Amino acid sequence: MSSKKEINEDLVNERRKCNFNIQEVTHIIDGGVENTLQRKKIEDVALNGGASLDDVPEECMNLRERYENALRKSCVYANILRNELLEITGIENFGTPVIRRTGDAFFKDISPFMLHLGMFVPTIMGQCTAEQQGIWLPKALDMQIIGAYAQTELGHGTFIRGLETTATYDPKTKEFILYSPTITSYKWWAGGLGRTANHCIVVAQLYTQGKCHGVHPFIVQIRDLDTHMPLPGIKVGEIGPRMGFNTADNGFLGFNHFRIPRMNMMMKNAQVLEDGTYVKVARHGKLTYGTMVFVRVTLVNEASFNLSKAVTIAVRYSAVRRQSELRPGSAEPQILDYPTQQHKLFICIATAHAFQLTANWLWHTFTVVQAEMRKGNIDTLPELHALSSCLKAVSTSDAAACIEQCRFACGGHGYMMSSNLPYLYSFVAATRTYEGDYTVLLLQTARYLVKAWEQAEAKKIVTPTVAYLNRCFDTNEKVAWTNSPEGIIKSFQAIAAGKISLCVKNIRQRIKTGMDYEDAWLMTTVQLVSAAEAHCRSMILDTYWNEMQRLTKTSSDNVKMVLYQLTTLYLVYWALEKSGDLLRYTSITEGDIDLLQKEYEDLLVKIRPNAVGLVDAFDLRDEILRSTLGSYDGRVYERLMEEVQKNPLNKVPVDPSFQKYLKPFMKSKI
């Protein structure tokens, strides 16, 4: 066991073995040297005070204490945000992943301000007119008002058109009347709504001049700004303990004929004039869903970031942990030396890279589409919706699975809250559901793919992300298998095209048997989800491979080599995972699959000496990792012991409950 200041000897050796320049890889992950410098500057400012601010671990507090503690820290952090960080990032990057990253140093669970920054502010920016932004945005950025995003109801989350809350315009008073007509119409789940927010965005069915115009967003004050009491006509509270997010005060909200001024309707995309006339401004009906698209785009980055934390913890721990013996009497190996452990972990490093590069690419696409829409061109929105839907679904789902694998890789200690792995898992598990459930979003992408297939069939040129359909359309034969990165990507495109084609065929066959289109679609949805997933995987593989090629063009040879190995590992891993599909849609043989397996195992051996270097390259400060198992110095056992001292149960040698329950119980029966 190392002394307090020393770095664990095994980790020292691992770092000595690393044969590439770690900083170079950090710059690639960050998207350039400038970004790394900016990130470090932000981290230095935000974490200047040591960040955690907790004497007792969050997990040792009761629900109320946890909330109060999270709110206390949120105020400290928000002060740094508004007084110092906003100046560094600029308003357009407020709430960027970099800020989100420093936030994690303050909260193991979630800040009650997260939705204010993550959705309330972006919705004001995206859904308000310039005049409305002038009113709300400065107050929101300065946090004079604190908001939530209340869309989901007790009865409906996925099906937004089915929301029941009504906003009825009254031209006499020039107000909207908000009403919750049923128990299922109560807003449910909104983060920050239960105890913290004094305002929220409410998505409600708009009625004017006796007609319903569908769901629209409104900005609503729900609590008095001085007393924080709910305003008359508002019923608000916390929904209760959940798997994670326990400090986010997710809330419920009901309206009893609650009035708001006309101008509180967010009017960028549609307006209600003083006399009650409804005017549609936007050229696309779904622009009111804009905040969701934005958050889905950022969630791909979240998936990568959280996974990079989990795998940093698990790889460092696996270098420190020794277990079993390979031969009788031999020294216990580091568990990282077991190929099965490498199999669990190296794919997680590669996945974090794949999602990071895909997230950067998606963010770029998002900004291009936004710029086009500002010019009045909405043609690229459907493609962005299809892309962000499937990438959000697959990245959050894979990240959750990988984080759980990192926990498995840490054995019993990984189950400790102090490892931070359970927190990471519960956070990322929620991202698979919120902002659009996994299956539901893949089905949105499937709609787009079926249409694209029909266009390809009509010999029309389809959009760039589905361009492979034009190429694959005429191929009746299986695609020729070649074992190369390009060959694997092409094969995945063939799988996607094959699955989409089969879906279209099955839908048409079902219609021929007398089903209407909706039923034929419904009966094909299991295959449609699979087709959308295949399309998404082909895109991730393609983006990861091509972006890594581009980004390493000027890198040193060893960096090129290790990143090539990692990218190839990712491609080969997925080829093996989907070998059934490859057998179906390409000319791959059993012998080829054996070769792939051998290549995969060889790659594990090659990557092994650089494993710790690769996770060090994520450059995650200990304050951000917040893990007894994953710190840079590898003092795992000392930290686990230190944590025990902080446990309130250990403050007295005999717990008072002994006299109260245990002793009488033991004496009660002879």
Ligand X SMILES: Cc1cc2nc3c(=O)[nH]c(=O)nc-3n(C[C@H](O)[C@H](O)[C@H](O)COP(=O)(O)OP(=O)(O)OC[C@H]3O[C@@H](n4cnc5c(N)ncnc54)[C@H](O)[C@@H]3O)c2cc1C
Ligand Y SMILES: CC/C=C\C/C=C\C/C=C\C/C=C\C/C=C\C/C=C\CCC(=O)SCCNC(=O)CCNC(=O)[C@H](O)C(C)(C)COP(=O)(O)OP(=O)(O)OC[C@H]1O[C@@H](n2cnc3c(N)ncnc32)[C@H](O)[C@@H]1OP(=O)(O)O
| Piece of the chain touching ligand Y by CB under 6 A; list 47-55, 134-142, 378-386, 618-626 | 378-386
**Rounded to whole angstroms, how far apart are CA atoms 520 and 512?**
10
CB nearest ligand Y: which residue?
Answer: 118
Least distance CB 154 / ligand X (angstroms):
9
Burial level of 334, CB count in 10 A (0-12/13-18/19+)? middle
Q: Which stretch binds ligand Y (CB under 6 A): 296-304, 520-528, 551-559, 632-640?
A: 296-304
Q: Does residue 85 interact with ligand Y by CB under 6 A?
A: no
**Binding segment toward ligand Y, per CB under 6 A, in 123-131, 146-154, 253-261, 370-378:** 146-154
Write the CB contacts of 554 (distance below 8 Å, at least 6 apart in sequence). none
d(CA 90, CA 154) in angstroms, rounded, equals: 37
- Closest alpha carbon to 492 in 473, 477, 479, 475: 479
152 belongs to an annotated ligand binding site: yes
Task: Check residue 285 and report its DSSP letter.
Answer: T
Distance, in Å, from the CA atom of 219 to the CA atom of 213, rounded to the nearest integer, reads: 18
- Among the residue ranges 379-387, 390-398, 433-441, 544-552, the one whose residues contact ligand X (CB under 6 A): 433-441
Residue 433 within binding range of ligand X, rule CB under 6 A: yes
Q: What is the DSSP letter of 287?
A: G
* Four-residue CA torsion sign, 107, 112, 118, 122: negative
In the list ligand Y, ligand X, none, the entry touching 611 (Cβ below 5 to 8 angstroms by class) is none
Point out which residues pair with 271 in neighbouring strands: 279
254 binds ligand Y (CB under 6 A): no
Q: Which is nearer to ligand X, 71 or 576 (CB)?
A: 71
Q: How far is the C-alpha of 129 from the C-alpha of 285, rounded, in Å? A: 17
Q: Specify the residue, 186 or 573, whose C-beta has the smaller distance to ligand X.
A: 186
Is 427 a binding residue for ligand X by CB under 6 A? The answer is no
Q: Can you tell me the distance from the alpha carbon of 433 to that of 543, in angstroms, rounded to the nearest whole number?
A: 25
> Using an 8 Å Cβ cutoff, are 571 and 542 in contact?
no
Three-state DSSP class for 35? Answer: helix
Least separation, in Å, of the C-beta of 444 and ligand X?
Answer: 10
Residue 118 or 251 having the CB closest to ligand Y: 118
Among 51, 115, 350, 352, binds ligand X (CB under 6 A): 115
Assess contact for 120 and 199: CB atoms under 8 A: yes
Looking at beta carbons only, is 169 or 245 nearer to ligand X? 245
Residue count at the site for ligand Y (CB under 6 A)?
Answer: 40
CB of 442 to ligand Y, least distance (A): 11
280-289 burial, b at 16+ Cβ within 10 Å, e below that, comes to eeeeeeebbb
Q: Is 403 exposed, middle or buried (0-12, 13-18, 19+ CB in 10 A)?
A: buried
Q: Which is nearer to ligand Y, 136 or 346 (CB)?
A: 136
**Total binding residues for ligand X by CB under 6 A?**
22
The least CB distance from residue 189 to ligand X, in Å, is 4
126 binds ligand Y (CB under 6 A): no
DSSP for 39-75, please give it.
Answer: HHHHHHHHTTT-S---SS-GGGS-HHHHHHHHHHHHH
Residue 150 partner contact from ligand Y, ligand X, none using kind-dependent CB cut-offs of 5 to 8 Å: ligand X
Q: How far apart are CA 103 and CA 120, in angstroms?
A: 17
Site for ligand X in 435-494 (CB under 6 A): 435-437, 439-440, 443
The residues, any chain, with a CB within 8 Å of residue 409's CB and separated by 6 or more, are 314, 317, 318, 335, 341, 344, 345
Shortest reach from residue 370's CB to ligand Y, in Å: 13
Which of the choices ligand X, ligand Y, none does residue 439 contact, using the CB cut-off of 5 to 8 A by kind? ligand X
DSSP state of 653: S
74 binds ligand Y (CB under 6 A): yes
Binding map of ligand Y across residues 301-320, x = CB under 6 A, - = no contact:
-x------------------
- Do you know the residue count of the chain? 670
**Hey, how many other C-beta atoms are within 10 angstroms of the C-beta on 461?**
9
- Is residue 194 a known part of a binding site? no
Q: Give the residue among 314, 406, 317, 308 at the shortest CA–CA distance from 10.
A: 317
Q: What's the rounded Cα separation, in Å, for the pair 296 and 388?
A: 6
Task: Tell me the per-residue interface mask from 240 to 259 with ligand X, x by CB under 6 A, - otherwise.
Answer: -----x----x---------
- Beta carbon of residue 118, minimum distance to ligand Y (angstroms, whole number): 3
Site for ligand X in 144-203 (CB under 6 A): 149-152, 156-158, 189-191
The stretch among 159-167, 304-312, 358-366, 543-551 that binds ligand Y (CB under 6 A) is 159-167
Q: Which CB, 152 or 491, lies closer to ligand Y?
A: 152
Q: In terms of CB distance, is 157 or 414 closer to ligand Y?
A: 157
Binding test (CB under 6 A) with ligand Y, winner from 176, 179, 289, 423: 289
Counting contacts by CB under 6 A, is residue 434 touching ligand X?
yes
Residues 97-116 that bind ligand Y (CB under 6 A): 99-100, 103, 111, 113-115
In contact, 117 and 95? CB cutoff 8 Å: yes
Q: Please count the helices (runs of H) and the strands (runs of E) in the chain.
A: 26, 11
**Binding region for ligand Y (CB under 6 A) out of 436-444, 455-463, 552-560, 571-579:** 436-444
Rounded Cα–Cα distance for residues 227 and 229 (Å): 5
Q: How far apart are CA 305 and CA 234, in angstroms?
A: 38
The catalytic position among 58, 435, 533, 547 is 435
Please give the structure tokens belonging to residue 483: 């074992």
Q: Are β-strands 166-170 and 251-255 bridged in parallel, bridged antiparallel, or unpaired?
A: unpaired
The CA distance from 632 to 235, in Å, is: 48
Give catalytic status of residue 623 as yes or no: no
> Residues comprising the binding site for FAD?
152, 191
Which residues lie near ligand Y (CB under 6 A)? 74, 77-78, 95, 99-100, 103, 111, 113-115, 117-119, 149, 151-152, 157-161, 191, 286, 289, 292-293, 295, 298-299, 302, 381-382, 385, 434-436, 440, 444, 447
> Residues comprising the binding site?
152, 191
Q: Which residues are catalytic?
A: 435
Which residues lie near ligand X (CB under 6 A)? 115, 149-152, 156-158, 189-191, 245, 250, 430, 433-437, 439-440, 443
